[in-house]
Amino acid sequence: MSEFFHVLFRLNVVPVIDCNKMPSCLMTENDHSSFRQYMDDPEFKEKFQDSYISSAMVKCYPVIDIRQDLTAVRCFGLSGSTKQDIRNFKGIKDLNDHYLRTVDAHAYDTFYSGKCADCRKRKARQCSGGCYAFKINEMLKM
Ligand code: SF4
Ligand code: SF4
């Protein structure tokens, strides 16, 4: 992934991750510092700072999709486990609140990797450990 970013950066493309942000612990210090070589270009620097890849924060919010059969899912990654009939909700806010209560509320109390258990970023609610698809079963159990 880091190599892919370098290829894009050399083409003056700064990718923005809108979902499924990689936790910063998956990149080494060398990966992070290797991006500094581009920072002499002020335009690149500004775009990089605005991009989500430069942030250590990993958070995720419902990105509700409504399907042709009038069921909704919290997001495409959780489409197998968060289906709801939209006719049971007063509106999009009601549906969003449902997903916040039943899924997102457990983002920082659950983990799929032992590394996350003692991680201060999780405890400080700065990193929820990446895509919830990896731990949705534990989240739903809670
Ligand atoms: S749970 Fe995964 S697929 Fe769904 S919005 Fe979060 S990162 Fe994206
Ligand atoms: S919570 Fe987990 S994924 Fe996030 S930084 Fe800590 S160890 Fe890495």
Per domain, the residue ranges of the chain are: 2-54, 65-141
Rounded CA gap, 12 and 121, in Å?
Answer: 31
pLDDT tens digit sequence for 8-62: 999 999 998 888 888 989 888 898 899 999 999 999 999 998 888 888 889 999 9
Number of Cα atoms under 13 Å in the Cβ half of residue 41: 13
Q: Amino acid identity of 132?
A: Y
Residue among 16, 17, 18, 20 whose CB has most ligand 1 atoms within 8 A, to mutate: 20
Q: Tokens 């609140």 appear where?
A: 97
Question: Coil, strand, or helix at residue 66?
Answer: strand
Per-residue model confidence as pLDDT tens digits over 75-124: 999 999 999 999 999 999 999 999 999 999 999 999 989 999 999 999 99
Query: Ligand 1 pocket: which of 60, 136, 137 to mutate (most atoms <8 Å of CB)?
Result: 60
Ligand 1 closest atom vs CA 62? 5
The answer to whether the CB of 63 is under 6 A from ligand 1 is yes
pTM of the predicted protein model = 0.87
Distance in Å, CA 40 to ligand 2 centroid: 30
**What pLDDT was estimated at residue 53?**
84
